Structure 1
């Protein structure tokens, strides 16, 4: 992966969403129009945290986040989300 030229501020993290599922468990191919927005991704950059709340996430963590969490961002042709650490629901 190329070096990311963005440094999130305070309690924000940059997440690279994992690709959406293309098949169901039974093998049915899902068309693009029916795919759901992925809710799992990998942390690629973290901010320095707030004075009273240090960051608990680190680069490389696989995380789950809400369906509408974060702000979409496109860098070097790749899609990313930037969100607050509190928008992350769990580390997988």
Structure 2
């Protein structure tokens, strides 16, 4: 599709209606669980660090099938527990 400004935009795929659009009145939501790789990305650490935190029971996780998943809330809680108050100046 070409807009009036001359820029080119991809034409919408007729079968690409989002779930939010198909479920009228239901707001879109974020995924509740993320993979170990995604958790590592969000915390800016290596994947092995996430597995270490899980193994030391510092980061709760669930296993669904063969996948190990971490809830977004568990990541937020981990960050909250890890914060240290700043040193006074």
TM-score class normalised by the smaller sequence: under 0.3
Point out the structure with the larger helix share: 2
Point out the structure with the larger strand share: 1
Q: What is the TM-score with the length of structure 2 in the denominator?
A: 0.28
